[in-house]
Amino acid sequence: MPTLTIDQLIRPPTTVDEAVNLLLTLLDDKELDQIASMLKDDLIDLHFSTGMYIRNVLQLHDRKNPLASLGHPDDLSLQLLDALWDRLNFLKSQ
């Protein structure tokens, strides 16, 4: 079971960076490894799996969600996957 702080349970992430930090907590190591090892252009292939999970768990379809102003939920979930991929591959290079 993922460990979340009370703030994460009460307040949804308001920035892409906060969302990526939360996804690093929510996704298991196997899934994070899969994302990191993919070509960035292939992340779209995760639209109906991890992308859907991201849209649902972060409630990207909720217009009151602070992230909703960044774009359509489908586009936003890919943007978050891109940012997550960047972070994972940056961490691997360190």
pLDDT tens digits for the chain (94 residues)?
566 655 556 678 999 999 999 999 999 999 999 999 999 999 999 999 999 999 999 999 999 899 999 999 999 999 999 999 999 999 778 7
- The pTM of this model reads 0.87
Residue 43 lies in a domain: yes
If one counts every other C-beta atom within 10 angstroms of the C-beta of residue 61, the result is 13
Q: What is the pLDDT of residues 21-39, one digit of tens each?
A: 999 999 999 999 999 999 9
Q: Residue 44 and residue 48: Cα distance in Å, rounded? A: 9
Residue 82 lies in a domain: yes
31-56 burial, b at 16+ Cβ within 10 Å, e below that, comes to ebeebbebeeeebeebeeebbebbbe
Q: Residue 56 and residue 26: Cα distance in Å, rounded? A: 13
Nearest residue to 93 via CA among 50, 36, 49: 36
Residue 6 lies in a domain: no
- Domain tally, the chain: 1
Residue 1 lies in a domain: no
Residue 46 lies in a domain: yes
